[in-house]
Structure 1
Amino acid sequence: MKTMLNIFFCMLLLVSCRNNNNAVQEATEKATYTNPLNVAFGDPYILKAADGKFYMYGTSGENGFKTYSSGDMISWKDEGRIYTGGHDSSWAVDAFWAPEVYERNGKYYLFFSANWKHNPTKELENFRIGVAVADKPTGPFKEMSDKPVFDPGYPIIDANVYFDDENGKCYLYYSRACYKHPVKSEVADWAKQEGFAKEIEESWIYGVELKPDFTGVTGQPVLLLSPPKSMSDKQAEWESRSVTAKEVNRRWTEGSFIFKEKDVYYMMYSANYFGGQYYAVGYATAKHPLGPFTKAENNPILQKNTAQGGDVTGTGHNMALRLSNGDMYTVYHGRTTKTGDERVVFIDKMRIDSSGRLIIDGPTTTPQPVPVVK
């Protein structure tokens, strides 16, 4: 009789746990959040760490970086400063931008952009990419070297790292800054004819194999993406809006983020002026981490929505995050009428349809289902 009672109570407990789990899942599915989140970051990046929490890093105008933690990707706790640069032993002076943190073998590695103090020609933009390491996602992060990862001979920003499970290699992606990089194109000819600008500077995205210990690169960087030369190119209209609207005399290709789906490499990137309303996101695909990449027909996949009655502009510098249930989200910054010039964080659902097209359901400012993170 005692055995039968034990079995009965175990069955009741099992049913109760199952009902509780179902109730939690149903409550999560019914719960909503609304963009933008209460985090004022540019260039946001989210890491899901070994402790099960999410950590968000971004550009905040500080002399270094801070992070926020969350258990649900929606409510974020300020964890304070994680890295400080600009001191005597640092290679970096100022302009700390676009941090990304990767967990490898129990350590956390912070890749970031900053102005290099080694500047004999006194360049106004002397950006390079560095790495700092910590034992925890909240730091403190210490620079691995007293110099950047490498020096290509021109200013670079927006590091993104991809670890390829197939060949065991890792790759560093970055954007060559527009600074002192005038490029001949039909858009540049148009700007000169209009009397708007004598030249148009451009930023281009490169990729290069990264040494496993992050102390340098292997081989030469490969040019992967750049703005179209011809105004008849299907990508030229959206990638040139900051110029054709006479907002600024630069065309950017920056903020890259790469991931793999089946046998295709997807590289997401941002175009136009990060401080303006036309900042937008597109993507390109390839069969190899170093290309060649082909830009997608359905670009841009994320842009301002003011023409549709919304109040979001300046959407860009995104990253993609896949959850354990297979759902994909993109994390990016934007601006609203209420937030003004301050960049704030948005999180929206993204997906790949049956034809391989990447689609972002955003920007949204209406209630959205809370992500299922467990």
Structure 2
Amino acid sequence: MRLPDMPLHDPFIVADEKTRAYYLYTSNAPSVSGVDGTGTMVYRSHDLRDWTRPVVVFLAAEQRGIWATDGGWAPEVHERGGTYYLFTTLHNQDKPLPVPPPNQWGTPFQIPNYMRGTTTAVSDSLLGPFTVLDPSRPAPPEHLMTLDGTLYVDPSGQPWMVYAHEWLQTIDGTMEAIRLTSDLSRTIGDPILLFKASDAPWISEQIPGGVPNQLPPYITDGPQLYRTPDGTLLMLWSTYEKNLIGPDGTITGGYVQTYAVSTSGDITGPWQQHRPLVRDDSGHGMLFHTFDGQLMMVLHRPFDNARGKLYEMQFLGQELRVLRRRADLDGGG
């Protein structure tokens, strides 16, 4: 298989030195995996061009007593101490959360809130099967509607989960971080606010006045932390520009891949926002290195019926830049 033929949303690649193979994780798509159900599947490749048919590595329905069975979004796999940890976002519409009070912008809609958050599962193999650590609740505080949790380990060795706090609950979506126990099974303390989506100054440039329903929300999606060679701490994240929201809460506009840099080098920031790296309804990217040392970014485009797109990247000081698009690998488009 090649990337144009592979349905994938929120792609995450593990470059495994042991097998010299790239493992590309995404939400289970029964049409290509042949397995029904909410979960995670993985494609494999040795050259980023030709990929195996996907294997299902996690199914929510197989987790006894799990709190949710829908979603399966934004899977990531991280190795820690010889164990592989899967982070994936699940939700349950039958577990409602309180609807937030009217907000400062007076938005003309109220959308029901329900439990949504990142669940952590473990395996001794990149090919699973993965078993949830705590089937009773998501890892972030369960009264928060969150998604897209990712792992960050600070210089002291302290693990954190960084996640997006949904605009559905906050209107101005946020990025937040919470400490994890060393085995990633539980959270410690309260979340820390990192930044709001509206902190990106170029977002407000895209919202003209006098347009009906041309109001927030401001969206936060897809955080991924990366420590650069000079020690700079960078976060990839995605949002929408030129938001237009209807009375039913449907968002139209361009999904974009952007990033922020912690000026202190610490997870707590402050975070300086940079302009988008890629537009064209693209986003939820992550950085990885090829086996020959090239820094790459994978993301999905378009938002609906998404496919994977690959870019060679480089750092110039604290600035992340796109070197070139690898249409030879991802098929163009």
Report what 1:92 is aligned to. Answer: 68
Please say if 1:54 is aligned against 2:16: no
Partner residue, 2:314: 351
1:82 corresponds in structure 2 to: 57
Deviation at residue 135 of structure 1 after TM alignment: 1.7
- Structure 1 residue ranges without an equivalent (≥5): 1-34, 182-200, 305-313
Name 1:105's counterpart in structure 2. 81
Secondary structure, in 3 states, of the residue corresponding to 1:95? Answer: strand
Q: Bigger shift: 287-296 or 123-132?
A: 123-132
Change (3 A) 1:255 1:168: same
Query: How much has 1:52 moved relative to structure 2?
Result: 2.4
Contact 1:161 1:173 in 2 (8 A): yes
Contact in 2 for aligned 1:102/1:108 (Cα 8 Å): yes
**Is 1:63 aligned to residue 63 of structure 2?**
no
The list of structure 1 runs, each at least 4 consecutive aligned residues, that deviate by more than 4 angstroms after superposition, is 120-124, 243-249, 273-277
Correspondence 1:155 to 2:145:
yes
Q: Report the count of equivalent residues.
A: 295
User: Could you tell me which of 238, 241, 254 is aligned with 1:270?
Assistant: 238
- Structure 1 distance, partners of 2:190, 2:293, is 35
The residue number in structure 2 matching 1:360 is 322
In the alignment, what sits opposite 1:291?
Answer: 269
- CA separation in 1, counterparts of 2:38 and 2:318? 41
Q: Secondary structure at the match of 1:224?
A: strand
Question: Shift in Å at residue 113 of structure 1?
Answer: 0.6
Paired position in structure 2 for 1:176: 165
Match of 1:208 in 2: 178
Distance apart, 1:47 and its partner CA: 0.8
- Structure with the higher fraction of residues in strand conformation: 2
**Aligned AA (1:217):** T
Q: For residue 254 of structure 1, report the CA deviation from its aligned partner.
A: 1.6
Q: Which of 114, 117, 128 pairs up with 2:90? A: 114
8 Å Cα contact 1:38-1:345 kept in structure 2: no
Residues 365 and 168 (structure 1), Cα distance of their counterparts in 2 relative to 1, 3 Å cut: closer
Higher fraction of helix: 1
TM-score, scaled relative to structure 1: 0.71
Aligned-pair CA distance for 1:93: 2.0
Query: 1:332 is matched with which residue?
Result: 299
Q: CA deviation digits over 1:241-295, x for unaligned, max 9?
A: 9x97968953202211110112210111101179855000111111112212111
> 2:94–2:114: 8 Å Cα contact kept in structure 1?
no
Distance 2:289 2:147 in 1: 25
Provide the C-alpha distance between the structure 2 equivalents of 1:158 and 1:78, rounded to a whole number of angstroms. 25
| Contact 2:115–2:142 (8 Å) recurs in 1 | no
d(CA) in 2 for partners of 1:100 and 1:56?
Answer: 9
**Percent of aligned pairs with the same amino acid:** 22
Cα distance change on mapping 1:121 and 1:320 into 2, 3 Å: closer
TM-score (norm 2): 0.79
Q: Which amino acid aligns with 2:195?
A: L
Q: How many Å separate the matches in 2 of 1:39 and 1:369?
A: 10
Q: In the TM superposition, what whole-angstrom CA distance separates every residue of 1:54-112 from its partner, at most 9, and x where no partner exists? A: 11111346511111111112211123211111455222221221000011222211011
Residue segments in structure 2 that go unaligned for 5+ positions in a row = 30-36, 99-111, 244-249
SS in 2 for 1:180: helix
Secondary structure at 1:73 match in 2: coil
| 2:217 corresponding residue in structure 1 | 250
Give the partner amino acid of 1:151. Answer: P
Please tell me the residue identity of whatever aligns with 2:321.
I
Structure 1: distance between partners of 2:50 and 2:253? 27
Greater CA drift, 36-45 or 270-279 = 270-279
The 8 Å contact of residues 261 and 271 in structure 2, kept in 1 or not, is answered as yes
* Superposition deviation, residue 341 in structure 1: 3.5
Q: Tell whether the 8 Å contact from 1:228 to 1:235 is kept in structure 2 after alignment.
A: yes
Q: Do structure 1's residue 260 and structure 2's residue 261 form an aligned pair?
A: no
Shift of 1:163: 2.3
C-alpha displacement at 1:330, in angstroms?
0.4
Could you tell me how far apart the structure 2 residues matched to 1:258 and 1:98 are? 15
In structure 1, how many angstroms separate the alpha carbons of the residues matched to 2:162 and 2:270? 14
- Counterpart residue identity of residue 95, structure 2: N
Distance 1:369 1:86, change over 3 A: closer
CA offset at residue 219 of structure 1? 2.5
Q: Which residue of 1 aligns with 2:8?
A: 41
CA change 1:54–1:204 in 2 (3 A) is: same
Pick aligned residue for 2:287 from 320, 325, 343: 320
* Closer/same/farther in 2, CA of residues 180 and 121 from structure 1, 3 Å limit: closer
Q: d(CA) in 1 for partners of 2:74 and 2:298?
A: 13
8 A contact 2:285–2:299 mirrored in 1:
yes
Tell me the amino acid that sits aligned with residue 358 of structure 1: L
Aligned equivalents of 1:229, 1:369: Cα separation in 2 = 33
